[in-house]
Amino acid sequence: MASLKIKYAAIIISSLIAGGLISVTAWQYVNSSQKTVQTEQKAP
């Protein structure tokens, strides 16, 4: 049973890390796209 708990804990931790990386990259992508849109609107 202990090995199963360790495996589940490893899966949960890895999924949390993967989710964090995905959210950070998505946040950076959204911020960069918003900045490009703002600069395009300022241009005549």
pTM for the structure as a whole: 0.58
Give the C-alpha separation, 10 to 2, whole Å: 12
CB hemisphere CA count around 34 (13 angstroms) = 6
For 14-31, the pLDDT digits (tens) are 999 999 999 999 999 888
Give the C-alpha separation, 28 to 21, whole Å: 11
pLDDT band at 44 (very low <50, low <70, confident <90, very high): low
